[in-house]
Amino acid sequence: MAPGAGSGAPFTLLAVHAHPDDEASSTGGLLLRAAAEGHRTVLVTCTNGEWGEVLGRRLSRLRPRERPEDRARLGEIRLEELREAARILGVGGLYPLGYRDSGMAGWASNADPASFARQPIEGPAGRLARIIREHRPHVLVTYDAKGGYGHPDHVMAHRAAMAALEEAERPAPDQAPWRVPKVYHTAFSRKRLLRAWRLLRLLGQKTPMNRPGFREELFGSAEEEISARVDIRPYLPLKWRALKAHRSQIGGSAFWRLMRITARWTFPDETFGLIRSDVPVRRPEASLFEGLG
């Protein structure tokens, strides 16, 4: 039996994310722990992250009005970083779907017909359904309906994953149907996030709390939404290595320095909310595999 699994193992975990680096920031510890316990991990990344930041690279600092070829180059860089991060995290199967990043909510890039958020749901849902039928995961993790903080691609990833779950239960000409027994959304603790931001403000750093019209309820999850807390303290050094693999995104900001120093005490676990379960669940769960098999 794999430690912490709560039943016979191995199982398969499928994580559906929007951009390169999302897998490490919100589920890096989960992926590492699952792999260490003998489970198989599969990662889907829906976009190439063309509208991300540009840090620590010999590339002009890109803005939404830069040339399309510059953004394509950033997408290629981020895919390279994703492959390295996935290797560090012990991911058994990596599927970059290659959709175009939609950019942050309200950006002009949201209107690009090629952007992920503008795709007819049947396209990405159908591709995800094939991956589900192929790997037959016991647990699927994605975002909640608001995408964690409203990012159009996170919202679309949630919609596509939910549609794919239903489609995967129907047989395809060359694939048997599969129903995923347990489905979760990432549930970054709002209380912890606000605590970190307040500390940064005391240190004179800017945070989202400085923005006009800031509404804390738009960020993270309330404590009552959290149904599982997965202890990741033994895996924090590798999680940071995976995050640092995304060199174009993870710079030396005060936020990341603070997290690196204090995470063992302030963020000792990764937290998730249960969307559905075919097996009985007792909260809080210490493993997403509890009750299986």
Give 253-281 pLDDT, tens digit per residue: 666 666 666 667 667 899 999 999 999 99
CA angle 279, 282, 287 (to 5 degrees): 80
pLDDT tens-place string over residues 76-124: 999 999 999 999 999 999 999 999 999 988 889 999 999 999 999 999 9
Question: Which structure tokens are listed for 182?
Answer: 């347990």
User: What is this structure's pTM?
Assistant: 0.88
How do residues 196-236 score in pLDDT, each as one tens digit? 888 888 888 888 888 888 888 878 888 899 999 999 999 99
Does domain 12-277 bear CATH number 3.40.50.300?
A: no
Structure tokens at 224: 């009552």
